[in-house]
Amino acid sequence: MACRLSMQNGQPRICGAPRAAEGFTLLELMVVIALIATLVGVAIPRIGASLVSDPTSKVSRWLINNINALKNEAVRKQKAYTLHIDLDRQRLWMTHEGMAPETEAAAEEKEAFQLPESVQFHSLLLPGQDPIQSGTAALNFSPKGYSDRALIRLTNDDDDRYTFWVEPFLARVARLDGFEEF
């Protein structure tokens, strides 16, 4: 068999000379993808579990999301809504005007959000009133788009303190570290 000189990509190529590497082999790509998948498979559950399992974060998400939803629903449906806070039983539930008494009782008993054991209400502050540390209090949301002004204070087993600041005319609830005052 005669060896011929040929041209490849503008360069002379001698017969039998190995070609230059032009990329990755399938095996190399499969190894890299397997390594990345292993790292992601190990890292994501750990990150996700810490975010989901933290009781304080769970309570924070519930408060912020539901207070914002109550403000929006009150305007959208043109009904007054109420967030009930039971500081003794450590739970929250929602009602709206026009609910039948038995539906309100069912909302309190069956649909209430129970705080995890490691998170507790400390107090609720309403303007011009002494701090409420026991009993049941209510935050009202008007169909005109405003709500009661309030500071909801929580603690957890790590002695961390949080304040959720509910402003009458702001759409968002602020979560602040520590106990705040008006």
Q: Tell me: the pLDDT tens digits for 3-26?
A: 565 666 666 666 665 666 678 899
**According to the model, what pLDDT value does residue 180 have?**
94
Residue written as token pair 């005319």: 169
Eight-state DSSP code of residue 37: H
d(CA 99, CA 80): 11
Nearest alpha carbon to residue 54 among 139, 158, 140: 158
Q: Tell me: the pLDDT tens digits for 26-51?
A: 999 999 999 999 888 887 777 665 55
Q: Let me know the angle formed at the C-alpha of 106 by 104 and 110, rounded to the nearest 5 degrees.
A: 135
Mean per-residue pLDDT, 163-168: 96
d(CA 152, CA 166): 8
Could you tell me the residue ranges of all domains in the chain? 59-177
Joined tokens for residue 170:
């702001």
* Strand ranges for the chain from DSSP E: 6-8, 11-13, 81-86, 91-96, 113-114, 119-125, 136-141, 150-156, 161-166, 174-177
Helix (H, G, I), strand (E, B) or coil at 106: helix
The set of residues, in sequence order, having a beta carbon less than 8 Å from that of 95 and lying 6+ positions away, is 81, 82, 84, 104, 107
Q: Return the CATH number of 59-177, one of 3.55.40.10, 1.10.357.10, 3.40.50.9100, 2.40.30.10.
A: 3.55.40.10
Mean per-residue pLDDT, 170-176: 90
**According to the model, what pLDDT value does residue 43 have?**
78
Nearest alpha carbon to residue 139 among 152, 131, 148, 127: 148
* CB contact burial 28-54 (16+ within 10 A = b; e otherwise): eeeeeeeeeeeeeeeeeeeeeeeeeeb
